[in-house]
Structure 1
């Protein structure tokens, strides 16, 4: 009903699909979404509260998975097994082994699975990546990715009974069943570690994905992360402060976020300072969001090079372009711009950072085997128990 509807608006606007059914465990989200679809498209989609029933009865050709993170794996795997192509939001899952199971299921079913890392399709990101890959920034030895926002300690919001029309047990699904809290649903779940992986899992994947897009290296060899809750006093439990480092063969990456103090000291746009700085021998390249990209040459006699962002919609994304790429990939039977394997690797970057922080130590990553070297306790964190009757997907 929330982000899934945002994607669906672009799908309807493309004019190549009929909306046959919609599913949500919250009637308060589902009913307004159904009404909007009827008004925008004239379609009369059927209404479901269980995705399994929808897949069994409707047998859709395309499925949009815009649910909370902890639901992405089971729903994506079920959809491709039912014969559907899937557009799934990022991050693709809550744990690393879920992601590999999703990739394997997509390949076994020969289905296209597009991940919502839309910066791979945005015009300024593409031209910026061409600039970086051309070598104009020189040899790059370090990349810094960051997202900082303002905010204060907050306050505790008491738990309450779920609102009428919400099946809270089904919302929690395979994740732990905890008391309902209005700060979790509908838009706050990413700051609760039972259902997501905090700011690194939400925002980190976008910028870490940009780094994997640039490099020929598929994964880091060592990851270390530390952080905690030093400011927040509300009832979220994700870290409000976190730093992660990723060691590759030829360069090092640092990630940092904080959910307070903002970032006015290094604003590159009137509204924000986020993104990645690529530090090369010829200069510093900043890949931003609202501010496009900028190259600052080491030689001060050379001009700064800049390209403005080209973004769409009130959310400043390029979902229309990503959806068009998805449809074209289905027609041509080719891998999409944000293929599930790409999304899996980028999600892993975020999840490895969270794993290291939870584990309290650095981890050495074998990206081919997708396991942590010499640390049985850390390897146990590559998956987690599912709440019955749900079964963790088999790799």
Structure 2
């Protein structure tokens, strides 16, 4: 590759980048936004600490059904901001507070819909972790609640702040790799042996409340805090939990909506008896511009080289481009062509996504938001439909206008899960 071409590749285009990742532009109003947190565990705290570190927010209340999470997080927040937030076990009690303006939702996905809709009814602005919903019908109800409330909402697809992915977008849009004809995304990793021993939940955890509208399974560490991601009833598996980030950024880079057709195949071959979602999966998604294939293996060594275990391949007519959180590699066509790696660290990716939300709320400007619920619904629905295809063993075709599956009753039945006991599906 000639030096002039290499310089063009490695320079970050200012026009493209300015319109992609977020640069905070707070106005002169230096007041701090009063925020509350529902779900004070690992990632909920990642989000609110990003808000606190921005200097533009203070946490006035938090809630969690695990008293250890609640007390430890309250103490950590107090250490950062100088005063202890009010603490609650139940989110509805927290939402009755008078001194909150925005709510962060960091709970398990099967709780998102009820908490999100309740916060919308209170007209609070919301930062909600991904996936938007546990099932497709919940997502539709959440988008409708947001539109009715007119509030400002950000969904936690923080890779939209990755300068590396936006560099990939720039290179594709300027024709560097030619017409994109195929896209392959993958995240291979080995979660290790799971502890499936049925036992009493920790004394601090109200397991009944944690399960909420989802089925109440016997407690075991493999489905509890953090580990729920690979449990079908709570996390829906690796594609829905982690792969969703790649499907979302593919949509962002390519300017796509929801795929129109899905076919997934795989199985539970190595971790059978430890998890309840596929440890091996290939999901084909028919987008308008180029077909996308997702693949994962939760066993073995992953790809031929670990450098490609987590990322996206864009196959163009002139070159192949590999992108991940902090770098882009271009593999030009030609016998003697050499790959060119562009390192673009994005250390503030998560923080900038939260700051983007705070900035929009403080300025009361929805247009600043990087990922609103309607956009997040498209990415969330894509991974849910791919999962439905796997669970039914059928091709799933999606009508994006009607928000329904076409001529497939067994698949359509999985768009909505019945809630447990006293809980009512929105």
Deviations 1:178-214 (A, max 9, x none): 1111222211001111111110001111111111112
TM-score, normalization: structure 1? 0.93
Of the three residues 240, 254, 268, the one matched with 2:293 is: 254
Task: Tell me if structure 2 keeps the 8 A contact 1:122–1:321.
Answer: no
Corresponding residue for residue 258 of structure 2: 219
Aligned 8 A contact 1:145 1:207 in 2:
yes
Is 1:28 paired with 2:68? Answer: yes
Runs of 4+ in structure 1 deviating by more than 6 angstroms, as ranges, are none
CA-to-aligned-CA distance 1:203-244 (integer Å, 9 cap, x gap): 111111111112233121110011211011443211111110
The alignment of Structure 1 onto Structure 2 pairs a total of residues equal to 384
* Structure 2 equivalent of residue 280 of structure 1: 316
Q: 1:122 is matched with which residue: 151, 162, 171?
A: 162
The partner residue of 2:394 within 361, 386, 389 is 361
Residue 165 of structure 1 aligns to a residue whose secondary structure is: coil
1:123-158 deviations in whole A, cap 9, x for unaligned? 222222122222221111110011111356x36521
1:339 paired residue among 351, 368, 372: 372
1:264 to 1:242, Cα distance in 2 relative to 1, 3 A: closer
Other-structure match for 1:322: 353
List per-residue Cα deviations over 1:313-344 (Å, max 9, x = no partner): xxxx6111111111122214223112211211
Choose the corresponding residue for 2:132, options 75, 92, 103: 92
Structure 2 residue 328 is the aligned partner of structure 1 residue 293: yes
| CA distance, structure 2, for counterparts of residue 155 and residue 32 of structure 1 | 26
Q: 1:40 aligns with which of 80, 96, 99?
A: 80
C-alpha distance in structure 1 between counterparts of 2:194 and 2:373, whole Å: 38
| Residue 179 of structure 2: aligned partner | 139
Query: 2: distance between equivalents of 1:337 and 1:43?
Result: 31
Judged with a 3 Å threshold, the aligned counterparts in structure 2 of structure 1 residues 233 and 380 are, in CA distance, closer, same or farther, namely closer
Measured in 1, the distance between the counterparts of 2:179 and 2:346 equals: 30
Q: Distance in 1 between matches of 2:95 and 2:323?
A: 40
2:226 is aligned to: 187
Partner residue, 1:206: 245
- What is the deviation of 1:266? 2.9
Q: Does 1:148 align with 2:188?
A: yes
1:267 aligns with 2:299: no
How far the C-alpha of 1:73 sits from its partner, in A, is 1.2
Query: How many angstroms apart in 1 are the aligned matches of 2:99 and 2:376?
Result: 25
CA 1:83–1:275: 2 relative to 1, 3 Å = same
1:19 match: 59
* 1:72-91 matches, cutoff 5 A: 72-91=112-131
Give CA-to-partner distance per residue, 1:158-189, whole Å, 9 cap, x none: 11112212111000000001111122221100
CA distance in 2, matches of 1:203, 1:318: 16
1:106: which partner in 2? 146
SS at the partner of 2:57? coil
SS of 2:320's equivalent in the other structure is: strand
Q: Which 5+ residue runs of structure 2 have no aligned equivalent?
A: 1-40
